Chain A
Amino acid sequence: MNVEEKVKAIVSEQLEVAVDSLTIETTFEEIDADSLDIVELVMALEEEFDLEISDQEIEEIKTIGDIVSFIESKV
């Protein structure tokens, strides 16, 4: 699985959204994820990819693609 697939799998599991419905452009607003959902999601991503995402970086996350490119820039 590449980074994008892994991110989609985690988002799908945490937020109970079908993985097929997620694209790189999907925004968290569209899938009704509030700020607490995003914090929980970030925790799962930090575990999976063994990295740290700061609160400031969390605020910039709007789409699945934002996460993917962020992670790719760190690993």
Chain B
Amino acid sequence: MDRRVVITGIGVITPIGSNKEEFWQNLVTGRSGITTVTGFDASAYSCRIAGEIPDFEPTRYIEKREARKMDRFTQFAVAAALMAWQDAGLDKNEIDRDAAGVIVGSGIGGIKTIEEQHRILLEKGPRRVSPFLVPALIANMAAGYISIMLQLRGPNLTVVTACASSNHAIGDAFRVIQRGDAEIIVAGGTEAAVSDIAFAGFCSARALSQRNDEPARASRPFDRERDGFVMGEGSGIVILESLDHALKRGAQIYAELIGYGMSGDAYHVTAPDPDGTGACLSMQRALDDAGIKPGAVDYINAHGTSTEYNDRIETLAIKKTFGEHAGELVVSSTKSMIGHLLGAAGAVELIATLLCMEHQTVHPTINYEYPDPDCDLDYVPNQARARQINVALNNSFGFGGTNATLAVKRYLDK
């Protein structure tokens, strides 16, 4: 029988809080972290708003000399990982570090470094391009640095599946521990793509909201007036641990990870399958993997991007998966407050889900004003709601038609 896996530590760097207390406080009170872009001059862009972390100070977590060799996406991940490690009460001198690994996803990797060094290449020529360009930009460097800092010699991987990256990373980490290939995995995702070229590409793809005059109201998942997603940056990292290992050291347990589902849409590079088949399969497989019936699910943390397509099709997929129970469970979108953290979205939203579970309160979907007849579930509009949550799902879907769903269950000493 597969070994059981629990979550024993969390760390977040998000537009509405870079520690779990502040993050939860802002989630439950429905505060938006979306503002006018400050990371670069966005005045010529059709979208000029984002969920940034303007006060992020890498040297709070990392020595300055190391920090300057890292892209921002790696700095976020290292900061969140150290936070999660501490939250889990782990001491690297008291564990078998050969049995502890790192699996961290990123949708895009070090795009800011590419931009910056490409400018130097054009202006000053190849002899001035930094020797740290390649180690800074490659997407697996977040996992690499975390392993170096914590001295972890277990599996070290990176998942790059666009906006599903960190759900896949956590799901894959779940499998690694289930199989017995590690006792602990530092897992999650990170993204820092609020940069001129990435932004330009998403603008050209017509993916981003243009509600530039009202940043805090721009990310409005499931609302009829939604007009695209708002990009966010940050990182979410969880500590996954075999249940035996966690119990042996008396660790706190946020929840048990009980199921992982994956699928491909096999349909289009950016648009989801209009029938919702891929999303439905992903949720169905997570339920099957967990060995639970649809009726057991109390809450779904939706992918809920605030794009016309996603929100309508995800709603359809939930209805297909859950039948009548779709009207009984509740759904909310963390992106309504922090925007879309791309490769970090799944992990940050799983952490939001764990905090909802801990507080037995569902955080709201903010900016929900105008009902859309195609989006007719209970999205917990605008106000948090006390609610018993024993089992929750967390959806993430990515460009390329890649889908991942995680199922978590409240851990009650058995």
Contacts and interface: CB of A to CB of B under 8 A. Distances in A.
Task: Verify that A and B bind, or say they do not.
Answer: yes
Contacts of A5: none
A18 interface: no
A43 B131 CA distance: 10
Interface string B126-137: 011011100100
B64 A16 contact: yes
Contact of B131 (A16, A40, A46): A40
Contacts of A43: 127-128, 130
A46 B128 CA distance: 9
Nearest to B135: A36
Interface centre among B63, B65, B127 (most CB of A within 10 A): B65
Contact of A40 (B63, B64, B132): B132
A40 B130 contact: yes
A47 B127 CA distance: 11
Contacts of B128: 43, 47
A63 B83 CA distance: 38
Interface in B113-161: 127-128, 130-132, 135
B130 A16 contact: no
A10 B267 CA distance: 54
Nearest to A40: B131
A61 to B, nearest CB: 15
Interface in B51-67: 63-65
A15 interface: yes
Q: Chain A CB within 10 Å — which of B127, B128, B131, B135 has the most?
A: B131
Contacts of A47: 128
A71 interface: no
Interface in A24-75: 36, 39-40, 43, 46-47
Interface size class for chain A? under 10
Nearest to A15: B65
B132 A36 contact: yes
A46 B130 CA distance: 13
Contacts of A36: 131-132, 135
Contacts of B64: 16
Nearest to A17: B65
A51 B406 CA distance: 57
Contacts of B131: 36, 39-40
A29 B219 CA distance: 51
B127 A16 contact: no
Nearest to B63: A16
B132 A16 contact: no
Nearest to A38: B131
A36 B65 CA distance: 13
A40 to B, nearest CB: 6
A26 B63 CA distance: 21
Contacts of A46: 127
A39 B129 CA distance: 10
A36 B63 CA distance: 18
Contacts of A16: 63-65
A40 B64 CA distance: 16
A68 to B, nearest CB: 22
A48 to B, nearest CB: 13
A6 B132 CA distance: 23
A15 B64 CA distance: 9
A36 B66 CA distance: 13
B178 to A, nearest CB: 38
* Most A Cβ at <10 Å: residue of B63, B130, B135: B130
A46 B132 CA distance: 17
Nearest to A47: B128
Nearest to B120: A43
16 contacts: A15-B65, A16-B63, A16-B64, A16-B65, A36-B131, A36-B132, A36-B135, A39-B131, A40-B130, A40-B131, A40-B132, A43-B127, A43-B128, A43-B130, A46-B127, A47-B128
Interface of B: 63-65, 127-128, 130-132, 135
Chain A to chain B: the 4 pairs with minimum beta-carbon distance, closest first? A16-B65, A39-B131, A36-B131, A16-B64
Given A36-B131, A46-B127, 7 more contacts: A16-B63, A16-B64, A36-B132, A40-B131, A43-B127, A43-B130, A47-B128
